[in-house]
């Protein structure tokens, strides 16, 4: 029967089905979001992707860097609510000041980042922010928004067909996983997602015993570094995906009283 529905109606049905099985709440900010992928599916994708990266990118053996990343990472891991986490913190040999986190608790830090972070607290600001994107499940949310707004008819009808045959939300998750790796390579988060990650990152810092005010200083150093690095083409991926501007810094400062209320430094 459904097959004969007009496309628009099918998409409405798809949206209804997806929202019913995939509406979740972001911890701490309380924002309701729509996310089609189950947390365990996300974690599996993150794990696979991280293994690939470890095989293709040189891993740093610098003892000071590795000690710092393990120390800060483990301290933050105690307070960051990542579902199905199998925490792993790896330093990659790469001069660009960059870091990333994948679902399942996989975190990579480039050797080039340490010139900007400068201390445990600075590093905690970056890791807290990156893991916040994972906690708030921003990549999946981005992917879902893109898929729904462009109305991928083929995927939509396939999801509906499977869903009506199987009658389970799990099928929706598996279908979403087909787009798998794409999820982990979101080119750019939305502005609101960046602000949310800044806020969550500051909370995690505070809860783990790091002064959250250092996050503001960290982003200012990043902005300054970009100014002095001159050549626009040298702007690292991190800054093109994390644009730092006055509004963003002001928003983080405005949030600071709440973060500081949880800081027992
Ligand atoms: Zn970010």
Residue 164 Cα to ligand 1 midpoint, Å, equals 37
User: How far is ligand 1, taken at its centre, from the CA of residue 251, in Å?
Assistant: 14
Span from the CA of 140 to the centroid of ligand 1 (angstroms): 14
* Gap between the Cα atoms of 235 and 106, Å rounded: 25
CA of 247 to the centre of ligand 1 (A): 15
Summarised one tens digit per residue, pLDDT across range 197-234 is 999 999 999 999 999 999 999 999 988 887 777 544 45
Asked if 132 and 204 touch (Cβ cutoff 8 Å), the reply is yes
pLDDT value at residue 11 = 62
CA of 238 to the centre of ligand 1 (A): 8
Q: Average pLDDT in the 6-19 region? A: 60
DSSP-derived 3-state class of residue 85: coil
Mean pLDDT estimate for the chain: 81
Collapse the DSSP code of 113 into the 3-class scheme (helix H, G, I; strand E, B; otherwise coil) and give the result: helix
Angle between the N-to-C axes of helices 246-260 and 214-229, in degrees from 0 to 180, rounded to the nearest 10: 160
- Angstrom distance (rounded) from CA 240 to CA 220: 15
Please, are residues 90 and 59 in contact by the beta-carbon 8 Å criterion?
yes
At residue 135 the predicted structure's pLDDT band, cuts being 50, 70 and 90, is: very high
Look-up of token digits 């409405």? 12
Least confident interval from 68-72, 141-145, 181-185, 194-198: 181-185
Query: Phi and psi for 221 in degrees, rounded to 5?
Result: -65, -40
Q: Which alpha helices (H) appear in 211-264, and where do they start and end?
A: 214-229, 237-241, 246-260
- Contacts of residue 220, Cβ cutoff 8 Å, sequence gap at least 6: 244, 249
- 162 CA to centre of ligand 1 in angstroms: 35
Give distance in angstroms: CA of 146 to centre of ligand 1: 18
Range from 51-60, 135-144, 145-154 that averages highest in pLDDT: 51-60
């Amino acid at each position: 029967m459904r097959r004969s529905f007009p496309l628009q109606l099918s998409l409405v049905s798809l949206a209804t089905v997806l929202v019913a099985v995939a509406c979740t709440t972001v911890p701490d900010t309380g924002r309701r979001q729509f996310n089609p992928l189950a947390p365990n599916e996300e974690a599996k994708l993150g794990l696979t992707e991280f293994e690939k990266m470890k095989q293709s990118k040189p891993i740093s053996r610098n003892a000071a860097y590795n000690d710092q990343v393990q120390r800060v990472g483990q301290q933050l891991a105690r307070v960051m609510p990542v579902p199905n986490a199998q925490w792993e913190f790896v330093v990659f040999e790469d001069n660009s000041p960059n870091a990333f986190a994948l679902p399942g608790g996989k975190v990579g830090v480039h050797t080039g980042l340490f010139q900007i972070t400068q201390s445990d607290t600075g590093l905690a600001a970056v890791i807290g922010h990156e893991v916040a994107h994972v906690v708030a499940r921003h990549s999946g949310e981005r992917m879902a928004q893109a898929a729904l707004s462009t109305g991928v008819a083929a995927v939509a009808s396939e999801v509906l067909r499977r869903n009506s045959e199987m009658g389970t939300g799990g099928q929706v998750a598996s279908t979403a996983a087909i787009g798998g790796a794409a999820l982990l390579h979101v080119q750019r988060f939305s502005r609101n997602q960046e602000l949310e990650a800044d806020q969550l990152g500051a909370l995690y810092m505070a809860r783990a015993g790091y002064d959250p005010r250092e996050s503001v200083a960290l982003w200012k150093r990043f902005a300054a570094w970009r100014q002095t690095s001159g050549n626009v083409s040298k702007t690292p991926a991190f800054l093109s995906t994390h644009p730092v501007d006055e509004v963003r810094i002001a928003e983080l400062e405005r949030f600071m009283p709440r973060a500081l209320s949880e800081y027992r430094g």
